[in-house]
Structure formats: C-alpha cells, structure tokens
C-alpha cells in the first residue's frame, strides 16, 4: 500500500499545473512537451532587461551630446532651415513686396509648376545639363584616379622626410584661389604664355589653348587636377596608415613582389574609402565648379562653359528671377539625391558600406 494520501494522478496534475507552459510538461496546450512559450518569454524578458531607457542612455552619453549640440545647431540654421526657401520655386517671388524678404514669400502669388515648365522648355537649360555631365564624366575618369595613384606612390617612398616634402608640394595648390589658378594656366597656355612665346621664338605660330572651346573641358579638368589632386591624397594616405605591416611582411615571405603587394594588400585596404568617395562624387555630379567656369566664360563663350550653376546665375539670380533660380536649384538637388541613392545601392551590391549601411 502506498504511504501517500494523495492519488498519484492528482499529484502529477498539480506538478503539471505549476510549470510555465500552457499544457503538460510546460509546453504547448497540445501536450507536445516543448518549451517554446517559456523560451520566447524568457528571450523577451532578456531583451527588455538588456535595453537601457532613454534617460539612462542620455545620462551615460550626455557629455558627447553636449559636444555635438553646436554642430547640430549650425547644420539646422545654415542647411535645413534654408530648405524652406524652396517654396519660392512654386511662386512668382518678388522680394520688394515687403521690407522683409522672408515676409515677401508669404505675399508672393502662387504659380504652381510654371517655373519648372519654363526651365524644361528652355534649350539652353538642356545644353547646360549636357555640358555638366560631360565635365563630370571627364573629371570622374581623368581626375578621380589621380589621388589614388599619388597616394600609392607616396606610400611606397621609404624615407619619411622625402614623403612629407612630396606630400606638402602636392597639396599646396589646394590653398590657391581659382583666380590664381586660372592666372597661372593663362601665363602658361594663353596666347601670351610661355608655350606660345617659345614657339614664336623658334619660328612657329603661337597657340592659345585658353580660348579654344574644343579643348576647354580638358583644360578645366587639368586645372582641377593641379589644384585638388594633392589634397585628395590625404584621405587615401590616412586609410593606408591603418594597414598593418604584418600583411606586407607575410606577402613578401610568400614571394609577392612590390606590385603584387600593392594589388593584394594596398588596394583592398583602399577599396571601402574609394567606394565612399565615389558615391559622394557621383552625388556631386551636377556641381563641377561654378567660380572656375565663371572666370573663363568670356574667353571661350557660353556654348563650351555653360553648366547648371552658371546657368542658374545668368538666367536666375543675375536677372533677379529668384523663382526661376530656385526651381533650377531644386531640380539639381533632387537629381543629385537620386544619384547618391543609386550609387550607394550599387556600392551595397558590390559588398561595400557606402555612405550608410544597409
């Protein structure tokens, strides 16, 4: 005879009801004995326990938040608040309707998409778009790889002193204004420049490359290379400084020469930076140098030098047609945003992070 006064079936029933599951064995109600419900509940509890509240995270990071507030304020004041001014693209904006130009936005009549229609019907606008994209592709093919090549060459220099002097000489033109850059090129390639005078002294006809519309786009690209290529190597040299020397030593021990070490070690280290800068460069495709082109517009004519920025200046701001200029600028911004998103998606497909993660 059993010594327990409670029937075994009832004791089992009591034990089963104390388990966290819905049915016998702590599992589901169908008696399968699994612990799915209990495990899910435990995971949710762990997630809730591991997630800090906003107040705790703010107290932890309040120093960093306070440090970023001035930068955030500057971005809001000079970047995001002026975006509200795009409303004039849909108006016949007249700043003289009020003593305050901001108040004049609310008093100007609405015209809808009339300004955009005027832009799309203007053949000069499409010619400026064509020149802009031609200059962009030339700069992308001829200018973008040069900082990478220069960074690789400087990084291969063994002596640090020679490397520092070479880098300083290369990025010094970045601090020159476009007026000085154009003047230097005029003194070299202009009709009274060094090349033309040398040819005349030897009985040849002088040349004036600065006024030749056919090669103007290549000349503009050369000016950009001379001015900014040296400055661009800083980013790539910073990326190369993070590459461990152990990788180069291991590749050398495996019998890799200098070119193979550059191909299999250096370039893979630069690949994320190249992808990031390429995405940003594509997003800046419609901005190919306003001041540079405006300075040389009279020498080669608008047919060769007119781009979107100069088109907006001559047809919008200079004529005080601010609504027209705002509409053209808004089109440029939307197209630039689309180019950034497209290029960033391509970077993701290639396995790179791009501007932001997936």
- Which pLDDT score, from 0 to 100, does residue 40 have? 54
266 burial class (0-12, 13-18, 19+ CB within 10 angstroms)?
buried
pLDDT of residue 67: 93
What pLDDT, in 10s, does the model give residues 223-239? 988 988 888 888 888 88
State the pLDDT at residue 20. Answer: 45
pLDDT of 41 reads 53
Burial of 275 (C-beta count, 10 Å sphere; 0-12/13-18/19+): buried
Question: In this model, does residue 169 exceed pLDDT 80?
Answer: yes
In order of 3, 28, 55, 242, 271, the CA distances from 277 in angstroms are 82, 54, 37, 18, 10
- In the chain, the percentage of residues whose pLDDT exceeds 70 is 85
pTM comes to: 0.72
Tell me the pLDDT tens digit for each residue of 285-315. Answer: 788 878 888 888 888 888 888 898 899 898 8
pLDDT reported for residue 106: 85
Cβ neighbours of residue 300 closer than 8 Å, sequence gap 6 or more: 210, 211, 212, 213, 216
What's the start-to-end Cα distance of the chain, in Å? 70
Q: How far apart are CA 108 and CA 114, in angstroms?
A: 14
């Amino acid at each position: 005879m059993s010594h327990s006064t409670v029937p075994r079936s009832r004791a089992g029933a009591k034990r089963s009801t104390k388990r966290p599951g819905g049915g016998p064995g702590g599992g589901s109600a169908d008696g399968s004995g699994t612990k799915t419900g209990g495990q899910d509940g435990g995971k949710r509890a762990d997630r809730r326990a591991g997630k800090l509240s906003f107040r705790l995270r703010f107290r932890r990071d309040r120093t960093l938040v306070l440090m970023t507030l001035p930068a955030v304020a500057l971005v809001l004041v000079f970047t995001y608040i002026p975006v509200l001014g795009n409303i004039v693209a849909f108006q016949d904006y007249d700043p003289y309707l009020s003593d305050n130009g901001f108040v004049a936005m609310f008093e100007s009549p609405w015209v809808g998409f009339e300004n955009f229609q005027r832009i799309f019907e203007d053949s000069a606008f499409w010619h400026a778009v064509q020149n802009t994209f031609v200059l962009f592709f030339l700069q992308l093919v001829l200018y973008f790889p040069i900082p990478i090549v220069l960074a690789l060459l400087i990084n291969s220099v063994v002596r640090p002193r020679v490397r520092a002097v070479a880098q300083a000489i290369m990025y010094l033109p970045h601090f020159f204004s476009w007026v000085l850059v154009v003047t230097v090129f005029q003194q070299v390639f202009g009709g009274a420049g060094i090349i033309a005078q040398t040819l005349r002294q030897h009985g040849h006809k002088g040349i004036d490359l600065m006024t030749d519309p056919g090669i103007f786009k290549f000349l503009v690209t050369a000016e950009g290379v001379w001015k900014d290529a040296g400055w661009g190597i800083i980013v790539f040299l910073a990326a190369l400084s993070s590459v461990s020397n152990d990788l180069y030593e291991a590749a050398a021990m495996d019998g890799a020469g200098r070119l193979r070490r550059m191909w299999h070690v250096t370039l893979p280290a630069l690949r994320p930076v190249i992808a990031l800068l390429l995405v940003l460069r594509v997003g800046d495709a419609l901005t190919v140098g306003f001041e540079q082109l405006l300075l040389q517009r009279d020498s080669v004519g608008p047919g060769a030098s007119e781009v979107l920025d100069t088109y907006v200046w001559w047809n919008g701001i200079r004529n005080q047609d601010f609504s027209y200029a705002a509409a053209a600028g808004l089109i440029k911004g939307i197209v630039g945003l689309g180019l950034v998103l497209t290029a960033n998606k391509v970077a993701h497909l290639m396995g790179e992070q791009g501007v932001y993660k997936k």
